[in-house]
Amino acid sequence: MLTAVRGNMSESAVLHAFLKRGFHVMLPFGGGCPFDLVAATESGQLIRIQVKTGWSEGGCVAFNTHSTDHGKGPGSYKGKADLFGVYFEMTDRVYLIPVGAVGTSECRLRIEPARNNQCRRVKLAKDFEFDHWTDEEIVAVLNGDLDREQLSLAA
């Protein structure tokens, strides 16, 4: 499947997830924007969402956490987007991950138990499923009041 088609599928899945929850969703006009979607909360706060396509690797959903600005090399989304909206076609699920909670290269969300039974410092995919998030948690991430560790503990 073409990369552009995969990207369009991911973008439409994330857009649909936000619409289904009652958010108003906007699309930036033109290219070069560091985010793919903007969702408005009921209170009017805007959420900048960078959509990524997840792939299966080692019992995880993996996705790139950097941009590829052709000619300039990889770039960070920190300060440019609020959340990654990741679509994983194999399970038809959407995941939300705060941009500030991941590294600058790649992120992995574990969908299968680790072979060595490691549990500490493991990002469990179920903790980041779109339906796991409340609107209040999304706003708390935007305000800097909730990080990934707190989100995992709240599950």
CA separation for the pair 92, 86 (Å, rounded): 10
Partner residues linked to 81 by β-bridges: 78
Residue predicted with more confidence, 117 or 16:
16
Determine the pLDDT at residue 153.
36
Question: What secondary structure does DSSP assign to 64-132, as a single string?
Answer: E-EEEETTTEEEE-BTTBSEEEEEETTTTEEEEEEGGGS-SSEEEEESS--TT---TT--BGGGGBGGG
The pLDDT confidence band at residue 154, using thresholds 50, 70 and 90, is very low
Determine the pLDDT at residue 37.
97
Phi, psi of 109 (to 5 degrees): -110, 120
8 Å CB contact between 142 and 82: yes
The structural domains of the chain, with segments of one domain joined by +, span 3-154
* Residues 46-99 pLDDT 10s: 999 999 999 999 999 999 998 876 667 778 899 999 999 999 999 999 999 999
* Residues 118-148 pLDDT 10s: 666 678 899 999 999 988 888 888 877 765 4
* Domain 3-154: CATH architecture, name and number where available: 3-Layer(aba) Sandwich (3.40)
